[in-house]
Amino acid sequence: MGKYFGTDGIRNKADYFLHGEFSYRVGLSIGHVIKPDMVVIGNDTRQSGMAILKEISRGLIDSGVIVNHQLDATTPMIAYYSAYKKVLGIMITASHNPYTDNGIKLFIDGHKTKDQIELMLEDFIDNGKPLIVKEKGAFNQINFVLEAYLSFIDSLDLNINNLRVGFDAANGAAYKVAPLLFSKYLKDVMGYNIEPDGKNINVRCGSTSIEFLQNKVIEDKLDIGFAFDGDADRCLIVNKNGEVIDGDLMMYIYAKYMKKYQLLNYDQVVLTKMSNPGVIKAFEEENIKVSLTDVGDKYVFKELEDHNYTLGGEASGHIILRHLFHSGDGILLALYMLKILSEENINLDNSLAHIKKYPFQMINIKNVDKSVLNQPLIIEEIEKVKKIFNKDYLVLIRPSGTEPLVRVTMSYKDEKILNEQINHIVELIKKEGVI
């Protein structure tokens, strides 16, 4: 990670972007380092978004760049148009974070920027001197990003049964496009949290507070519900009983369908090391191979790209259906799930009933010296735990990147043995890692 860019663009407190002309210099840096003729730019519903948009645009225009702003854009809409027209895309969003945060995501030809470009941008933000351009750029309010995205969804040939469906837009970026699309393909649809006020994005709603949708599915007697995050690149499902279907279980449905129609390249799916061993076992029983990456969508994406796989994602609901689109898109995930359920005439709950998730525990150990994980004693004891579990297990012990904290995550079919082993490792780390 660089000085400003993290794993998913720049993200910080909203005030940070408007302090000391920071956003203006981000705009200048893009104009001088990447040198696009024009950009498409969107923002989610945070109250800080329009002020940041104004400052970035000012920097771009002063660099001679044409700025095209799409109102009410989701991150996937910007990523799609960037790939479709081979232009630079910018999204102002902090995704699932609270409204007090904001961020900037960049897309070059639809793909997130590489580390080398980000380092050059950071250097210009701090040290670069603006050049005098022959002609300043301009700012345009446009709608062609939305139109291109709607055409893309139309091309998927969605024939969906008349289910009673609900969605939770998290008072975020999907608040306009989600109702537009769901009402196009469904007669009986309920939209929730589609009234953003600048401050209510992700507040007790959306994929990070899925209890809201769980209650609504039961109350309103829905067949299925979909929850998005603030910029709509994630999706989680709630079944008719109010139970959460996480990203790993969603991928099980996608993978079986895609394998049947030769869309699942190499019969392989990409999950992360946080995936439940019971779910991984279910994939293997369907003769679907599993790759496990580090946690983070950029690692999943790299594995997909490196090996030309077509399906991968995280339990959080950030999933890439790469045969359709190279990036995560919550609305696409929801509509594609409805297409599969309709075409195959399958019941979501029956299709997943045989999958037994293993008991799962995650313990955060605070105020501990993270270097304790390098001690031979700790390494040896972790290896002993793995031997005790033998197979079909999860053992992931890693330091936090931002605070003095170690996360211990384990999953195993026998809850008694799981509890014994995780408690043993946690106590050992506490004892040996005293600060």
At 256-276, the pLDDT tens digits run 999 999 999 999 999 999 999
Beta carbons of 166 and 219 less than 8 angstroms apart: no
Place of tokens 């701090």: 126
CB 369 within 8 A of CB 404: yes
Q: What is the residue whose two structure tokens read 């989600």?
A: 178
Partners of residue 321 on adjacent β-strands: 311
What is the reported pLDDT for 401?
A: 65
By the 10 Å C-beta count (0-12 exposed, 13-18 middle, 19+ buried), 381 is classed as middle
pLDDT greater than 90 at residue 253: yes
Task: Output the pLDDT for position 402.
Answer: 60
pTM, 2 dp:
0.93
What is the overall mean pLDDT for the chain?
A: 94
Over 70: is that where the pLDDT of 173 sits? Answer: yes
Question: E strand or H helix at 138, and its extent?
Answer: strand 138-142
Q: Give the confidence band of 89 by pLDDT, cuts at 50, 70, 90.
A: very high
Range with the poorest average pLDDT among 2-11, 225-234, 405-414 = 2-11
Q: Which domains does the chain have, with CATH numbers?
A: 5-145 (3.40.120.10), 156-352 (3.40.120.10), 360-432 (3.30.310.50)
CB atoms closer than 10 angstroms to residue 102: 27
What is the CA angle 266-411-358, rounded to 5? 75
In the residue annotation, 400 being an active-site residue is answered as: no
Stretch 230-245: mean pLDDT, rounded? Answer: 97
Specify the pLDDT at position 247. Answer: 97
Mean pLDDT of 90-117: 93
The stretch 329-357 carries a mean pLDDT of 94
Distances (CA, A) of 145 to 48, 72, 74, 148, 283: 22, 10, 10, 5, 37
What is the structure's pLDDT at 1?
64
- pLDDT for residue 8 is more than 90: no
More confident residue, 57 or 349: 57
Of 29, 57, 63, 95, the active-site residue reads 95
Integer Cα distance of 285 and 268 in angstroms = 13
